[in-house]
Structure 1
């Protein structure tokens, strides 16, 4: 199964560079298609994405470093900056609150469903990037960087940053993944 192969190949790759094995346009086109295809409850379409490339990629990670006032090691931030780009994931809270008002009986569920959809989107993009031969990892510097990101990318106040995914050419692959007894986490009931 292609999906199983994609999941087996998807790993947290931290040694990244700006040399993509495919054109940037292909990455952007695939991200757009994945955003369109990933499902969410009530077809709410609350997911938002910014793909930072080139100068904006470098500015993003400099802004992350600045937002933490030196409390995060420069070498760590420079590792993310060395990547070809970063996918920034958001939830549009205006969409969520609109559906909460429209479907009051489910109001408390919409924020949860929006987060679930964002997680599916992140993982789908991650697997899609890997299928292109691109490495990636997921970071969570939000909410500390929220204001800097909002200013740098002119995103609306209603967009809440959820995660950052640096991606790029693979300088060094991820190490071996430890196996596990998956039966400890999966039970079958008949």
Structure 2
């Protein structure tokens, strides 16, 4: 098992790893713990808890990306599908995928409950989903796993609803692919901090 990094260490080393193997640096129980921790403790507006997660590992992960390729093969012209298939096959070689959803029925419930903020809850729902994504990205990174985030929705939504018995009120937002890194990502560049942050009273 890899030695866990601190959270801040993980935020600094977090990158998009696309070259991944179908191995994990930690037991499946640890992955379950990380997913459970995120869904339990990541905040949401008015504690609405709108995010839903589906974790798919090993051969089930391969079946997921087989299904994505089948859907896209029907939707894309042959020349475009040939290019897209190469990327999808990279993701299929990984160990697992976490599917990130938002429950629109819960969003509507809180819109009705708090009319003053009715127009804000869809935006807040997207924000909490992003926080779940970032928390799990850093948590998996801290365990020595490589991660990348994909957005093949909405074309795959209906197929995955059937595969994973997902309620129609769950809206798919992203697919997080992870596995043991087999190659390093390219160099990351940064815009000057001074252009992006202002400090007062510091």
3-state SS of paired residue (1:68): helix
3-state SS of paired residue (1:133): coil
1:13 partnered with 2:9: no
Q: Which residue of 1 aligns with 2:157?
A: 146
Q: Which residue of 2 aligns with 1:103?
A: 114
Alignment: residue pair count: 190
1:2 partnered with 2:13: no
3-state SS of paired residue (2:31): helix
What is the Cα deviation at residue 176 of structure 1?
Answer: 1.9
Aligned to 2:90, which of 75, 79, 95?
A: 79
Q: Which residue of 2 aligns with 1:68?
A: 72
Worse overlay, 126-135 or 169-178? 169-178
Q: Which residue of 2 aligns with 1:130?
A: 141
What is the Cα deviation at residue 149 of structure 1?
Answer: 1.0
- Deviation digits for residues 129-181 of structure 1, max 9, x if unmatched? 00000010000000111011111111000100000001001111212211331
TM-score normalised by L of structure 1: 0.95
3-state SS of paired residue (2:149): coil
1:161 partnered with 2:165: no
Q: Which residue of 2 aligns with 1:29?
A: 33
| Cα gap change, 1:2 to 1:26, in 2 (>3 Å) | closer
- Mapping 1:163-178, distance limit 5 Å: 163-178=174-189
Give the superposed CA RMSD.
1.4
1:91 partnered with 2:102: yes
What is the Cα deviation at residue 55 of structure 1?
Answer: 2.4
Which ranges of 4 or more aligned residues in structure 1 deviate by more than 6 Å?
Answer: none
**Long gaps (5+) in structure 1:** none
